[in-house]
Structure 1
Amino acid sequence: MVDIVILCVFAFAAGLIDAAVGGGGLIQIPALFNVLPASPPAALLGTNKVASACGTAFAARSFVRKVVIDWGLVIPAACAAFAMAFVGAATVSLVPQGLMRPAVLVLIVLMAIYTFCKKDFGALHKPMRIGTREKLLAIVIGGAIGFYDGLFGPGTGSFLIFLFIRCFAFDFLHASASAKLVNIATNIAALLFFIPTGNVLYLIAIPMAAFNILGALTGTWLAVHKGVPFVRALFLVLLLILIGKLSYDLLV
């Protein structure tokens, strides 16, 4: 019972952070592995995905009610992400994880430097006109991030937010909302693997899902009411945490 309470606290924190800027897995996955060290890794990952998928769905629902979504970009990106998440998962054994961490670390450091130095990055929402070029770019972004999520995973939401701002001139709030909708597609792809294969600890996953949803609703409320400066600051903090975690993983 104590283990469930601890995991629910972490699930709430993960849902809150993930709703605003992504990165909830950095909180929830280590908590599961530390609290339940005897459980199979696949079952812990499946349990995490059930909880985070529920939180993501409710965060997306809240964002859709309060933020105008550019569906012409989000839908192609989500479809491509869904398809490529399967491809990434299928090829995970072919790509040495030792090569992934340094490459991702470099990308995240560059993202952090760019965001910090470019003070107006993501400050204004001036989306481009949606034409064929923009839709194709959305497919490429969704496919690349979906593949990465299936292959490796850490920082998926942060990469999506950065790319929606950089490529389509979104602000942080609209980019976060759009990223959540694309994340739903990759979550569904993951659940289609974990649930049929029995890799979900439902007695843990259900209460964690409830608290992840509460955290996600809180995170969405903070993002909408505190606005772009709050989300931008939280995004930079998350990138620093990602840099720290990936650096630590490389050293140990």
Structure 2
Amino acid sequence: MEDLTLTLTVLLFAAAFLAGFVDSIAGGGGLIALPAMLLVGFSPVEALGTNKLQGLFGSGSATVAYARKGHVDLKTQIGPAVLAAAGSAIGAMLATLIPGELFRAFLPFLLIVIALYFGIKPNMGDIDRARRLSPFLFGLMIVPMVGFYDGLFGPGAGSFYMLAFVALAGFGLLKATAHTKLLNFASNIGGFAVFAFVGVISWKIGLMMGAAQFAGAQVGSRLAMKNGAKIIKPLLVITCVALAAKLLLDQ
């Protein structure tokens, strides 16, 4: 899947830019990029593999932007990042053997629950709250579990990380967004390594989309840091509802 018309190439570029923009703020970029690749003729596994390649650029771009402004401490997050990458690698291995579509049945309902949580919960802002799970247990239990899902299927992983950081780790929305991007980047590395080894990545298109994702993530992360919860909360709710609706319509 290397030779595409100019129209389809522009479509993929635009989808990747939008995916990078949305994903850097609220997660869910995979539900923009993956359908676009399937639309132009990618096989499901090739779309997953190529999405991990281009996703590296978007999540990496956003992570650097947030880290430069001090919203995430990279040194303290090395352990969780490694676990996210390992979980994603295991999930990606299974993705080459079993259909990730098994998640489509219940994923929309989980996304709706996340949207309701962020939409209804009062006084949710950028101030940290009391955590319900220690950093050690959070990194050991939650991070690799979401990473596994990210490697096996992917779409919505950022929303799951966001929910976990806010509800369990007690993070404010901006801090949760920044740490979500770091773990997304790590899980993209794990999944990418497996898909690259298996040989299901379209490198030319993946790199082109990666450049678009990089640019979109820069714009989105700067907007999030400027506006904080004022933009993160509504976009997160809208994204979750939109992803849930898309998955239900696909079924």
TM-score (norm 1): 0.88
The equivalent residue for 1:126 is 128
The AA in structure 1 aligned to 2:242 is I
Residues 198-231 of structure 1: CA deviation (Å, up to 9, x unaligned): 3222222222111111101000111011221111
Structure 1 CA distance, aligned partners of 2:248 and 2:48? 22
Secondary structure, in 3 states, of the residue corresponding to 1:168? coil
Consecutive unaligned residues in structure 1, runs of 5 or more: none
Residue 16 of structure 1 contacts residue 212 of structure 1 at CA under 8 Å; is this kept in 2? Answer: yes
- Deviation of residue 40 (structure 1)? 3.6
The equivalent residue for 2:16 is 11
Residue 72 of structure 1 contacts residue 135 of structure 1 at CA under 8 Å; is this kept in 2? Answer: no
In structure 2, the CA distance between the partners of 1:151 and 1:206, relative to structure 1 (3 Å rule), is closer
Residues 47-67 of structure 1: CA deviation (Å, up to 9, x unaligned): 222111111111100010113
1:178 maps to 2:179: yes
Q: CA RMSD in A?
A: 2.4
The AA in structure 2 aligned to 1:126 is D
TM-score (norm 2): 0.88
- Deviation of residue 152 (structure 1)? 2.4
1:42 maps to 2:45: yes
Q: Which of residues 62, 67, 71 in structure 1 aligns to 2:65?
A: 62
Q: Which of residues 37, 61, 65 in structure 2 aligns to 1:32?
A: 37
- Greater mean deviation of Cα atoms: 189-198 or 141-150: 189-198
The equivalent residue for 1:197 is 198
- Greater mean deviation of Cα atoms: 143-152 or 86-95: 86-95
- Greater mean deviation of Cα atoms: 64-73 or 210-219: 64-73
1:78 maps to 2:59: no
- Deviation of residue 104 (structure 1)? 2.3
The equivalent residue for 2:218 is 217
In structure 2, the CA distance between the partners of 1:54 and 1:71, relative to structure 1 (3 Å rule), is closer
Residue 141 of structure 1 contacts residue 163 of structure 1 at CA under 8 Å; is this kept in 2? Answer: yes
Structure 2 CA distance, aligned partners of 1:97 and 1:229? 34
Residues 95-121 of structure 1: CA deviation (Å, up to 9, x unaligned): 775653333223222222222111223
Secondary structure, in 3 states, of the residue corresponding to 1:29? helix
Secondary structure, in 3 states, of the residue corresponding to 2:14? helix
- Greater mean deviation of Cα atoms: 52-61 or 240-249: 240-249
In structure 2, the CA distance between the partners of 1:103 and 1:6, relative to structure 1 (3 Å rule), is closer
1:241 maps to 2:246: no
The equivalent residue for 1:90 is 93
The equivalent residue for 2:3 is none
- Greater mean deviation of Cα atoms: 106-115 or 181-190: 106-115
Residue 107 of structure 2 contacts residue 244 of structure 2 at CA under 8 Å; is this kept in 1? Answer: no
In structure 2, the CA distance between the partners of 1:76 and 1:246, relative to structure 1 (3 Å rule), is same
Consecutive unaligned residues in structure 2, runs of 5 or more: 1-5
The equivalent residue for 1:227 is 228
In structure 2, the CA distance between the partners of 1:77 and 1:89, relative to structure 1 (3 Å rule), is same
Residues 21-66 of structure 1: CA deviation (Å, up to 9, x unaligned): 11111111111111x22x4433333222211111111110001011
Aligned length: 246
In structure 2, the CA distance between the partners of 1:243 and 1:17, relative to structure 1 (3 Å rule), is same
